Amino acid sequence: MSNRPNILVLGVGNILYTDEGIGVRAVEALQKAHAFSDNVSVMDGGTLGMRLMDAIMDCDHLIVVDAVLAGDEPGAIYRLTGEDLRKSLGFNDSMHQTDLVDTLIFCELVGKRPEAVIIGMEPHDYQSLGTELSPVAGQRLPLLCDAVVAEVRRAGGDSAPTDNGHPA
């Protein structure tokens, strides 16, 4: 039996609003370009909100990938913990169904709240309808994916590039 922590990489966002879907696009790229150790799950959480509670409670370490409004230039990449979690679009109830901080609080109330960190990117455009990322976000997507892989390693997981190469 392994004593390695269960790690969930959860991409959230609404892919219908350009860069608001950066978290989902990042996990899609990660799933294509990386093979993760068996203690790491990579999941498209979209805008599921409270319906993610079971998956969140099953992990020891939660890595949320999302758009983050922190006031830096578009494409800036962040690592957020603690009170800074609310800078993530998924954590301030912008277009997601339920505030993810509330979801984590509910997980804590039932006795299983994982450590949580956000790896995010400052969006260029998160209000226009469109399924493609803005050019800035698309260009910076590989750096966001690299930051997620580094966080997976920091949390006790591992990954190796697949034959598909680095996310484009």
Q: Is 108 annotated as a binding residue?
A: no
Cross-strand partners of 23 = none
Cα Rg for the chain, rounded, in angstroms? 15
Ranges of H-type helices in 58-134:
100-109
Beta-strand relationship, 61-67 and 115-121: parallel
Q: Is 125 annotated as a binding residue?
A: no
- Quick check: 4 and 58 in contact, CB under 8 A? no
**Phi, psi torsion values for 102, nearest 5 degrees:** -60, -40
Q: Is 83 annotated as a binding residue?
A: no
- Quick check: 52 and 10 in contact, CB under 8 A? yes
Mapped onto helix, strand or coil, the DSSP state of residue 8 is strand
> Residues annotated as binding site for Ni(2+)?
20, 66, 96
> Residues annotated as binding site?
20, 66, 96
